[in-house]
Amino acid sequence: MQQPSCPPPPSRPAAAAALLVLADGRFPAGGHAHSGGAEAAVRAGRITGPDSLEDFCRGRLHTAGLVAAALAAAACAGLDPVELDAAADVRTPSPALRATARRLGRQLMRAARAVWPAPELAALAAARPRGAHQPVVLGAAARAAGLTPHDAALAAGYETVSGPATAVVRLLGLDPFRATAVLARLGGELDEVAGRAVAAAGRAATGGTGELPAASAPLLEITAEAHAAWPTRLFAS
Amino acid sequence: MHRDHPVTFPGRHTHGAQAVRPDGRRRALRIGLGGPVGSGKTATVAALCRTLRDEVAIGVVTNDIYTREDADFLLRNAVLPAERITAVETGACPHTAIRDDISANLEAVEELEEAAGPLDLVLVESGGDNLTATFSHGLVDAQVFVIDVAGGDDIPRKGGPGVTTADLLVVNKTDLAPYVGSDLGLMARDAKAQRGGLPVVFTALTRPGGVGPVADWVRGRLAAWRTGGTQ
Ligand SMILES: Nc1nc2c(ncn2[C@@H]2O[C@H](COP(=O)(O)OP(=O)(O)OP(=O)(O)O)[C@@H](O)[C@H]2O)c(=O)[nH]1
Ligand SMILES: [Mg+2]
């Protein structure tokens, strides 16, 4: 997707492989300490095994995942990241999740600037010194890496399901092969979500951020607030 | 395990660990404390704070595994004002947070320096882990590995990156050696064999002044840091 109203990426190396670097679970941007709401769902008995993990991930993918993917695609396409950051804010009712998104955005910014230095990343870091929302930074990082908005959407969507899956392996001692199979089974839906995200980002390029999806998962928002107040927990969110 | 030779410092630290801050001031010296669960890392941090806090401005970052236990202990014992202590959450993987993905710890250290600074020394305590857990050179300038005599006097012989490569090895709880049948002489010989010339100190933190040898080593690092060296 390339909208005439958006500036072209600053550089365009042949970059497909950069997607592997950006989406690698070991990319050092802080994600390993977050469960994406899975810790609260495990404690509440809503995730007990591979099937309920798949349900949880599917729900997250089509709500928070779609929103994150659209924000990332839009940022990668060159829409104003500060405006996108405001759009992310209004799509995140829970203060705890907003704080988490900004903290992770700041950690990702640190990693991205080290890996793909770019003036646009530096400008966003300066405009949002406490951190922009993580999906916006992810899109900006994808742009700096020479990736496409579709790549950015895939990476953002994938992260919303891979985080909980990894966390549940640690929380429940779930068989890691079965947890990974869940991610593989969600692949087709992830492709579809990424496609919708890119289309929405395309509309936002001319119609403004109001065109971006605002799907929400109220239970994720509510349990995130409760989780943030637990005295004892394994994951930061 | 790979280790960069200290002479390459500080040029390689380009993302959060630059020795000189944007305001031109040299940032705080960062020392990591790692080691197995319960060996005395928090006790060492607390004793270092009490011993050194009148000489230098200190901040502490703890990496608790699933509570704020260590941070709360330091607060309860009032070793430092509350704004000098902060806790990082590690998602069930304490070694990841100090080695493979240091982003949360770097944020914590920088926030501490911004909020409570300028500081001279930041101590980063790892969550209790295993013998392979070491700190990234992107996070700390020097690291201390704390083991204790009660964990078995064969730990130095077993080696592992913490025991063999830490800048200082602390063998703590020597007061317990007679009760657990640990041979301190053997531990000292094995540690020397594993570590070559790197220093080893034996401590009993329960005794008055027990942290003395560690505090002296930290003073040496601080003096070197101020004059631009790392040793
Ligand atoms: N007898 C004796 N007990 C000690 C000594 N140092 C620490 N302890 C005790 O050992 C226990 C564990 O000490 P901590 O300092 O909490 O150990 P830690 O390494 O921080 O533990 P984790 O953070 O849980 O990995 C506490 O009850 C301390 O009081 C010592 O030199 N001698
Ligand atoms: Mg401790």
- Report pLDDT digits (tens) over B162-176: 999 999 999 999 999
pLDDT given for residue B23 in this prediction: 73
Which residues from B are below 8 Å from A121, CB to CB? none
Q: What is the pTM of this model?
A: 0.88
Range of the domain at B117: 27-225
- Interface confidence (ipTM) of the complex: 0.83
User: Looking at chain B, which residue has its C-alpha nearest residue A166?
Assistant: B91
Per residue in B81-93, pLDDT (tens digit) is 999 999 998 888 8
Beta pairing partners, B62: B87, B125
Q: Point out the ligand nearest to the CA of residue B127.
A: 1
Contact B103 A110 (CB under 8 A): yes
Residue B48 has pLDDT above 50, yes or no: yes
The total number of structural domains in chain B stands at 1
Asked if residue A136 lies in contact with residue A88, where contact means CB atoms within 8 angstroms, the answer is yes
Q: Point out the ligand nearest to the CA of residue B146.
A: 1
Band (pLDDT 50/70/90 cuts) for residue A94 is very high
Cis before residue B10, ω within 30 degrees of 0? yes
Instruction: CATH number of the domain at B54, please.
Output: 3.40.50.300
pLDDT exceeding 90 applies to what percent of chain B?
73
Ligand 1 pocket member B68 (CB < 6 A)? no
Residue B1 has pLDDT above 80, yes or no: no
Arithmetic mean of pLDDT, A199-206: 98
DSSP B8: G
B230 assigned to some structural domain:
no
Please name the member of B92, B93, B102 whose beta carbon is closest to the beta carbon of A28.
B102
Q: How far is the CA of B33 from the centre of ligand 1 (A)?
A: 13
Compute the Cα dihedral for A220, A221, A224, A226 and give only its sign. Answer: negative
Q: How far apart are CA B229 and CA B223, in angstroms?
A: 9
Contact A32 B91 (CB under 8 A): yes
Contact A107 B107 (CB under 8 A): yes
User: Looking at chain B, which residue has its C-alpha nearest residue A100?
Assistant: B104
Residue A2 has pLDDT above 60, yes or no: no
Residue A12 has pLDDT above 90, yes or no: no
Arithmetic mean of pLDDT, A173-201: 97
B61 assigned to some structural domain:
yes
Q: How far is the CA of B197 from the centre of ligand 1 (A)?
A: 27
Please name the member of A32, A170, A236 whose beta carbon is closest to the beta carbon of B101.
A32
Q: How far apart are CA A85 and CA A65, in angstroms?
A: 16
Compute the Cα dihedral for B217, B196, B35, B92 and give only its sign. Answer: positive
Q: How far is the CA of A228 from the centre of ligand 2 (A)?
A: 22
Residue A3 has pLDDT above 50, yes or no: no
Asked if residue B184 lies in contact with residue B202, where contact means CB atoms within 8 angstroms, the answer is yes
